[in-house]
A and B are shown apart, each in its own frame.
Chain A
Amino acid sequence: MKKQDCQKIRSSINAYIDGMDDRCNREEVEMHLRACVECRRMVELSKSAGEFMKQNVRKMPREVHDNTMRIVRNYGVQVQPVFYQSWVGYTVAGFIAVCLIIGLIPQVVVNSSGKKVGVEILTPEAGAVVYDSKTDVCARVKVKVKGATVRVYVDKQDVTSTTEFVDDYLWYRPIKPLKDGYHSIDIQTVDRKGEIVAETEFSFIMVSK
């Protein structure tokens, strides 16, 4: 059997293995397989690999499920308040957006100290207008340094002790409702020597209902 013949028929062989071929195609492939040992071997191997995969679907460990649900529940419900949909909400949001654009309010402060951004902020978004005065701060720590710890500051106050850490994620929910206005979050990764190895700073605007 010529190698060119095998190459020509390979795509048809795959459809044949997956049972996605038509009758005409099937006859052609079967004829080729009768004559070609190499292709016949490939079909057998592919089928056994497929069978192996089917039989070895592994169940996800329960703790992974539980951890994920814990993260989800901690993140909580993010339902947009009716306020946002009213004309007052749009006006306030529009005004703040204009302020952000023309630079009256600092929009996002990243790497102010020239450090690597070590955290991916999941909520609230940098520069966002937030309507829930007890909004969660949720982030994922990306930079991992052996022996390093993560510190969380809200409006320059250390809130690390009231921040919850689960795997790579961290949550902070304000104990007291946040006041209206500009708030800053600073998340630092500090090594054993106490030096900041990564830092992410951002701000958001609080507008209560």
Chain B
Amino acid sequence: MVVKNGGFSEDDAVLIAKVKKGDTQAFEELMLKYEDGVYNVVAGIVGSYHDASDVVQEAFFKAYVNIRKLKGEKKFAAWVYTIAVNCAKNRYKQQKREEKRDGGSEDSNAGSVRDDSMQVEGVAENNETTEFVAQSIGKLSPEHRAVLILRHMQGMGYDEIAKVMKCSLGTVKSRIARARESLAVVIRDKIN
């Protein structure tokens, strides 16, 4: 299910109230509602659907543990995305540290994704154009991928993305602009 916005949902408020009273079933309902969206955003940041599974698990567990701290029930979607984005960023940093420590892959392209990357796994069968676009998206930096995924996959507005990514509206606008330019450059280079 694609979450169309990170904002208000009447159902969420009821479900959160139940979760706060200890209803794990209600938490499962909330999770079902947002898990696909969160999964795709996280995969975009960490660069692999395989790693995204662990991160999503961690993010939802943290959300459950801290749900009492959530004041405005209307903001659950943005809140859970924020937790997931933070977890994903931490995982990405950890991966980079490990790569550096192991001295292995000398990654000249800092933002590029690894071999088991989402672009390879996520490609639709036998569709060259799709594969081409997917691989190009995979070459963007995690921040750039994240804003594009939140915008296009989740249909979030700039202000909602700013809340989730914990940055200013201006930063979101410039990241989206840069992400699109980078994408255009990657695709143009491939064509040439």
A65 touches B43 (CB 8 A): no
B22 touches A77 (CB 8 A): yes
Assembly CA distance A53 to B151 (angstroms): 10
B183 touches A64 (CB 8 A): no
Q: Does B11 contact A (CB under 8 A)?
A: no
Known contacts A49-B148, A123-B65; A61/B173 CB under 8 A: no
Q: How large is the interface on B (under 10, 10 to 19, 20 to 34, 35 or more residues)?
A: 35 or more
A49 touches B61 (CB 8 A): no
* Chain A minimum-CB-distance residue to B149: A53
User: What is the minimal beta-carbon distance from B159 to any residue of chain A, in angstroms?
Assistant: 11
Main secondary structure of the interface of B (DSSP, over half): helix
Known contacts A53-B149, A53-B152; A65/B134 CB under 8 A: no
**Number of A-B residue pairs having CB atoms within 8 Å of each other in the complex:** 119
Known contacts A54-B153, A75-B64; A10/B184 CB under 8 A: no
A69 touches B137 (CB 8 A): no
Q: How large is the interface on A (under 10, 10 to 19, 20 to 34, 35 or more residues)?
A: 35 or more
Known contacts A56-B124, A72-B27, A123-B65; A46/B57 CB under 8 A: no
A65 touches B188 (CB 8 A): no
B54 touches A167 (CB 8 A): yes
User: What is the minimal beta-carbon distance from A82 to any residue of chain B, in angstroms?
Assistant: 14
Assembly CA distance A64 to B183 (angstroms): 31
Residue from A13, A61, A72, A167 within 8 A of B60 (CB atoms) = A72
Q: Does A149 contact B (CB under 8 A)?
A: no
User: What is the minimal beta-carbon distance from A132 to any residue of chain B, in angstroms?
Assistant: 13
Residue from A57, A76, A79, A140 within 8 A of B58 (CB atoms) = A140
A60 touches B39 (CB 8 A): yes
B137 touches A52 (CB 8 A): yes
| A-side contacts of B177, CB under 8 Å | 10-11, 13-14
Where the two chains meet, the residues of B that have a C-beta atom closer than 8 Å to any C-beta of A are 2, 21-22, 24, 27-28, 31-32, 35-40, 43, 49, 53-54, 56-58, 60-61, 64-65, 122, 124, 129-130, 133-134, 136-137, 148-149, 151-153, 157-158, 173, 176-177, 180-181, 183-184, 187-188
